[in-house]
Structure 1
């Protein structure tokens, strides 16, 4: 169990962080990073699927002996 002094320090730190940070800006930055990260994963995933399908079904390499 925490002592009253530890609780006071923890509460003071949390209160200071609450007042020093703009919640709207922080949440906005998190959503921006999440949206860009998600978009990049989708683009890379689609490119990977297209590359794999092209490799599976020929991919333009002609290995015919004529």
Structure 2
């Protein structure tokens, strides 16, 4: 009975820790995607400003 409880708790702990690691990886990827989107938007704004300055 004691071994079963220990094995169950160990399996539960391993499952939770790997889940937290997966969530951390998802958020880390989200940060990089967010940074990429912000840089892309700034680049587009700069391109639009240069485009209108050349036309005038």
TM-score under structure 1 normalisation?
A: 0.56
Structure number having the greater helix percentage:
2
The corresponding residue for 1:8 is none
Q: Distance in 1 between matches of 2:40 and 2:31?
A: 14
Bigger radius of gyration: 1
Q: CA deviation at 1:58?
A: 2.0
1:39 aligns with 2:10: no
Moved over 4 A (4+): none
RMSD: 2.5
Q: 1:58 aligns with which of 38, 47, 54?
A: 47
Unaligned stretches of 5+ in structure 2?
1-7
Alignment length, in residue pairs? 46
Unaligned stretches of 5+ in structure 1?
1-18
The corresponding residue for 2:16 is 27
